[in-house]
Amino acid sequence: MILNPLDGRYKNAVSELALLIGEDALILLRIKTECLYLLALADEGVVKLSRAQRNKILSFADGLPGAAQMVKQIETEGFKGVKATRHDVKAVEYYLRFLFAENGLKSYTPWLHFALTSEDVNSLCYALMIRDSLEKVLIPALEDLDDELRRMSREYAGTVLLARTHGQAAVPTTFGKEFKVFEYRLSRQLKQLKKQQISFKFSGAVGNYSAHTAAFGEVDWRAFSKKFAADFNKGRKSKIFLWEAATQIDPHDSYAELFDNLRRVNMILIDFAQDIWRYISSGLIKQNAVKGEVGSSTMPQKVNPIDFEQAEGNLGLANALFNFFGGKLTVSRLQRDLSDSTVLRNIGSAFGYSLTAYKSLKKGLGKIKPDGESALAELRAHPEVISEAVQTLLRVFGREDAYEQRKNFTRGKKVSAEDMDNFIRSLDLTEPQKKKLLALKAETYIGFAEKIARKVNL
């Protein structure tokens, strides 16, 4: 039975993400964390391990076949005389105990999960999952989308379009420049997203390293934890970092910063999807009819902008979660309550809805093309939009009433190109001045639009 569309309808779109931030990924990272922590204890001199023992533990850290399933069984059903733990992290510890006992490492089982609270393990694992999801899936998907927007902004840099402000006909622009507006916005947020760092805590029950120092007071456990964090950053672009003043849990401020960054990305893309939808609705952008697709169960002629509609809906779902995460995860009663645990398990859903939308937008962009002829025809039907240029030049010519004259002539009226020319000819101006005004054409009145579309980049 499928409850969530991410596991059904959108499964193929998010399959790669599920491997990085799904339940199995969390379990395998817990195993890896416990193993690498034990090796770090050995590096610190707390535990002594031979090279062969180290290599064996490293092989466990990589995740043996069936490991996640075995941990789930220990948690929910029990295994080999151990009753069901009903605790996910303790199940990982027991799994490793069995593994150590079967591989000549039974004497080291007391050092598994040494001085840690389950939140230490979970906090690091979530930081790693989020980092992997960003670096390997979400950021590349956004880069693909950004590249496509940049390509289209250049391709349609000079394709004129009637702009609309307040829904009303305004001065001309170009499709390419309007694509560039969104590419520029997305590029800026993407640049910030690549700099986001994810925090974790690793300091024991209430964040004071109390058990650590009781056992080995001579060890600088804060320095130990910082080095442990640094080892996870080797060769990686996105970084995790140790939150040094914590309660039992990481305060998730870095999560909130990340989620707000993604929320801004998604709002920009919602804005974009709605604009493209309107251009399609007005016939200014054409869609390619994909063979075999059905646009309507009753109207066979329809080619619906479903990619942009689906993207808008999924972006909205993701943002609802991101907004909730930012408010919920940064608040915890005293040193900790457990309500954050359930919420953290849904980060993958927010990422999944976002990824589905990014892919929908990329697919949609591959099926559309601005209709230059229709756009030009609409522009020519509104010759009054060059009134801005006319009144500006009249100011240059010394007319103090330039704005008022154009307003009285054009505001709220249907004006033809001939009406515009007759108005200009009636003005008390020199012939060269009239000639300059008469030369104004809506289709060429685009300022730096083409240059902005082709050359402006962050």
Residues acting as catalytic residues: 166, 296
* C-alpha neighbours within 13 Å on the C-beta side of residue 108: 24
**Phi, psi of 79, rounded to the nearest 5 degrees:** -160, 130
Mode of pairing for the β-strands spanning 368-370 and 285-287: antiparallel
Q: What distance in Å separates the CA atoms of residue 61 and residue 237, rounded to the nearest whole number?
A: 22
Among all chains, which residue has been given the structure tokens 């309007």? 178
Residue 399 is classified by DSSP as -
Q: Work out the angle at residue 185's Cα, subtended by the Cα atoms of residues 184 and 191, and round it to the nearest 5 degrees.
A: 85
Residue 180 is classified by DSSP as H
**Phi, psi of 305, rounded to the nearest 5 degrees:** -80, 55
Q: What distance in Å separates the CA atoms of residue 123 and residue 414, rounded to the nearest whole number?
A: 64
Among all chains, which residue has been given the structure tokens 């009144």? 391
Q: What distance in Å separates the CA atoms of residue 187 and residue 142, rounded to the nearest whole number?
A: 9
Q: Which of 364, 209, 378 is nearest to 276 (CA)?
A: 364
Q: What distance in Å separates the CA atoms of residue 319 and residue 391, rounded to the nearest whole number?
A: 44
Residue 30, both tokens: 């817990």
| Burial bucket for residue 419 (CB in 10 Å: 0-12, 13-18, 19+) | middle
Residue 16, both tokens: 């790669």
Whether the Cβ atoms of residue 217 and residue 260 lie closer than 8 Å to each other: no
Sign, Cα dihedral of 178, 180, 181, 183: positive
